[in-house]
Amino acid sequence: MLPSSPSRHRDERGSVAMQMVFLMPALFAVMFLGVQGALYYHAREVALAAAQEGAREAGSQNGTRESGLATAHGFLQDAGGSDVMTATSVSGSRTTTTATITVTGKSMSVIPGWHVTVRQSASAPVERLTE
């Protein structure tokens, strides 16, 4: 065996620290992007469910556009309110054949300054009594 030279050991000192300097920010970026993606997906699903509930209500035989909007607002509050989405707005329309509700808002963000807008819409046929 060859004796180890002191210069070989000196060259490797600090290599772990340098690896951590470059790898830790990349690891945190991947983690934050994963959490941000999950928050966006959750907000999108909540917005879609609220729009569907509102459209079902507005399209019911005795439903109105206003009752559909109120149902969608109530669903948003029950699903977490501002802990899921901020700056929410609900709009809708009801014709003789179709009721449509649209939910818009911003998903929560763990990345400062990055606010993703979520917009989901649902339509339902208007129930009518035929004889």
pTM, two decimal places: 0.80
Residue extents of the structural domains in the chain: 17-125
Rounded CA gap, 26 and 59, in Å?
Answer: 49
DSSP 69-103: HHHHHHHHHHTTGGGTEEEEEEEEEE-SSEEEEEE
Rounded CA gap, 113 and 4, in Å?
Answer: 53
User: What is the pLDDT at residue 89?
Assistant: 96
Q: Show pLDDT as tens, one digit a residue, over the chain (131 residues).
A: 555 555 555 566 667 777 788 888 899 989 999 999 999 999 999 999 999 999 999 999 999 999 999 999 999 999 988 899 999 999 999 999 999 999 999 999 888 888 899 999 999 999 988 77
